[in-house]
Amino acid sequence: MLFPGQGAQQVGMGKALVEAYPVARETFEEANDLLGFDLARLCFEGPHETLMSTEICQPAVLTHSVAAWRVARAHGVEGDLTMGHSLGEYAALVACGSLSFEAALMLVQARGAATTDVVTRTPGSMAALLGASDEDVEALCLEAGEVWPANYNCPGQIVASGLHRGVDRLLDLARARGIKARLLDVDGAFHSAVMAPAAEKLRETLSSVKLSTPSLPFLSATSAAFEKGERVRSLLAQQLTAPVRFTQSVRLALDHGVDQFVEFGHRRVLVGLVRRIRPGVDAVHLGDPSDLPALLALAGKSPG
């Protein structure tokens, strides 16, 4: 079971699910009550600029993912392990039973506030490098300085993150060597050393959160390893400054016999990456009611 991170949000997300399934409606109502504002309205109607802000989109993506996962579970679909991409790890920890939805929402709200504070004081940027090896990107980042590998999304798609001047130097170096590179529409140096103050703030909040014994294995894309217990608490703080090792984590899942992947989110982000990591693998997505038949067919469940 896969859960996407920031960037999966879009105005309209969750609206059809809520209209079709009571468990999805209840999930959004729970989020509204816990957060103290109408998250559902912002997801369903926008405005776009508000939904895209870090402090809104992070609880929005979490809530939609959990709602979609609960719909699948209500139809008898159970997974064998959970994993997420960055922010998506919070939904993955809800799905494996390690975090309550309430605790995850509180943490994500704190995470959004902490990262926004860093972005305000130390703006940064991120860039995607396409067609280069992991080693080439790592070497380019070292050469450019003040920029680090941030997302190992799939072979040939690495995102780097850092201060504006570091990312600018990286783009110049990449293009000079014939490597395709493009600036991403973000305002922060996420998953880099720049986020260290946010990690410290989040660590304080994490110290008071209860972690339960998971009912399913949790595969962390921060460590690219199976994790549980107190180790999860430290990884959630470390996640802000560490790269997302999605490629390595998917390969580990494949090595452990996983042959079907389901992404719970509004857009088909992670299933596309999984197919580039392992062409031909069974991977489906659940974000709207129209996606449910394919998921039920994959799981061998009846639509009733």
Please report where in the chains the tokens 């016999």 appear, as a residue: 257
CB atoms within 10 A of CB 110: 18
Phi first, then psi, for residue 25 (nearest 5°) are -60, -45
User: Tokens in use for 102?
Assistant: 């309430």
Please tell me the distance from the alpha carbon of residue 175 to that of residue 140, in angstroms, as a whole number. 11
Of 65, 75, 85, 86, catalytic: 86
Please tell me the distance from the alpha carbon of residue 256 to that of residue 268, in angstroms, as a whole number. 24
Of 191, 192, 223, 285, catalytic: 191
User: Tokens in use for 283?
Assistant: 């991977």
Phi first, then psi, for residue 163 (nearest 5°) are -70, 155
According to DSSP H, which parts of the chain are helical?
A: 15-20, 22-35, 39-45, 48-52, 54-74, 88-95, 101-121, 134-144, 164-176, 196-206, 230-238, 246-255, 270-277, 292-299
Please tell me the distance from the alpha carbon of residue 221 to that of residue 4, in angstroms, as a whole number. 11
What is the four-CA torsion angle of 9, 10, 15, 16, rounded to 10 degrees? Answer: -100
**Helix 164-176 and helix 134-144: axis angle, to 10°?**
130
CB atoms within 10 A of CB 193: 15
Phi first, then psi, for residue 175 (nearest 5°) are -65, -35
- The yes-or-no answer on residue 191 being catalytic is yes
Please tell me the distance from the alpha carbon of residue 60 to that of residue 10, in angstroms, as a whole number. 10
- The yes-or-no answer on residue 256 being catalytic is no
User: Terminus-to-terminus CA distance in the chain, angstroms?
Assistant: 22
Q: Which residues are catalytic?
A: 86, 191
